[in-house]
Copies of this chain bind each other. A is one copy, B any other.
Amino acid sequence: MTSTHFTLGLVQMKCDPKREPNLQRAIQAIHRAADQQAQIVCLPELFLSPYFCNTHDLSLFDLAETIPGPTTETLSQVARERNVVVVASLFERMEPGMFFNTTAVIDANGQYLGKYRKMHIPHDPLYFEKYYFRPGDLGFKVFSTQYAKVGVLICWDQWFPEGARATALLGAEVLLYPTAIGWHPKEKAEFGASQYDAWKTAQRAHAIANGLFVGSVNRIGFEPSPMGEGLEFWGGSFIADPFGVLLSQASHDQEEILVARCQRDRMEDVRRNWPFFRDRRIEAYGGLVRPVGE
């Protein structure tokens, strides 16, 4: 990892009802990202299906698979063929009654490197994730890939500075956030802009506070729900540099591949000029790890 840079590719996509077309479109997108010199390609959260957490349905647990498993094996072939790292968010089945919202990391030689299990699980109208997923039990993780040290977090994690910091302290050069977030149709007119802005601001702030690159990749498109009006996924994927400056920014409604070169000297420069890690007060942060109240 002595290269002057690494190149990210984010695949902003819609997710259709059936698994196989989603997988094939993802594979095609990985090829297109590789054609554009991307070295680390990240897919959106749970890209193999519609965002099924918009309802409570026991039969949807059938969507889950083991990790490593059939999808990581398929993606390993693409990774090896194109010499790219693939970061893929999947619905993980470990054993009966143990399901996780998990992201697998496959190195550029096709080797499965490991997984991150989503630590912060939302549960809000049409985001009923606590029904499906056991909260992650592997802690925060960094993967030493061929091109960079990649920190992986997932969607709701993006609102938690603790996850970003803990992953940065493990040595991550980039935080990747596979995401599935959208607007409730009846809220969009009044709150849509401020919701998207808050989402992006929170993550750009992780880049700033930690002096590393951040890539956040979301799905697009409207998906109906049996339990409500459905969700309009807001796309808006982006890559920010270690001072929060946007390197690449997607639309709200188109499938796109974002590619950005991440210069290591930029990270070095930002962290020398803004040496926050030097001044952390670990002995005084006990409040962050204690129960609140009496």
A residues engaging B (CB < 8 A)? 119-122, 124, 135-136, 139-140, 156, 159-162, 164-166, 169-170, 194, 197-198, 201-202, 204-206, 208-209, 243-245, 273-277, 279-292
Q: Supply 9 further A-B pairs (C-beta < 8 A) apart from A159-B276, A202-B209.
A: A120-B279, A140-B284, A160-B209, A169-B288, A201-B201, A201-B205, A202-B205, A202-B208, A289-B289
Question: Contacts A201-B208, A205-B205 hold; do A122 and B166 have CB atoms under 8 A apart?
Answer: no
C-alpha gap A292/B139 in the complex (Å): 16
C-alpha gap A198/B274 in the complex (Å): 11
Which chain B residues lie closer than 8 Å to A280 at the CB level?
120, 160, 162
Question: Contacts A284-B139, A285-B289 hold; do A274 and B159 have CB atoms under 8 A apart?
Answer: yes
C-alpha gap A59/B148 in the complex (Å): 49
Which chain B residues lie closer than 8 Å to A159 at the CB level?
208-209, 274, 276
User: Contact between B288 and A282 (Cβ–Cβ < 8 Å)?
Assistant: yes
Which chain B residues lie closer than 8 Å to A273 at the CB level?
124
- Interface SS, A side: helix
Closest to A129 in B: B279
User: Contact between A124 and B275 (Cβ–Cβ < 8 Å)?
Assistant: yes
Closest to A210 in B: B161
Question: Contacts A159-B209, A159-B274, A160-B276 hold; do A285 and B120 have CB atoms under 8 A apart?
Answer: no
User: Contact between B209 and A165 (Cβ–Cβ < 8 Å)?
Assistant: no
User: Contact between A287 and B170 (Cβ–Cβ < 8 Å)?
Assistant: yes
User: Contact between B204 and A201 (Cβ–Cβ < 8 Å)?
Assistant: yes
C-alpha gap A164/B162 in the complex (Å): 11
Which chain B residues lie closer than 8 Å to A285 at the CB level?
162, 166, 288-289
C-alpha gap A281/B136 in the complex (Å): 10
C-alpha gap A164/B279 in the complex (Å): 15
Closest to A292 in B: B169
> How many Å from the CB of A209 to the closest CB on chain B?
5
Which chain B residues lie closer than 8 Å to A194 at the CB level?
243-245
> How many Å from the CB of A116 to the closest CB on chain B?
12
C-alpha gap A225/B81 in the complex (Å): 59
> How many Å from the CB of A144 to the closest CB on chain B?
15
Which chain B residues lie closer than 8 Å to A284 at the CB level?
119, 136, 139-140, 166
C-alpha gap A201/B198 in the complex (Å): 10
User: Contact between A243 and B198 (Cβ–Cβ < 8 Å)?
Assistant: yes
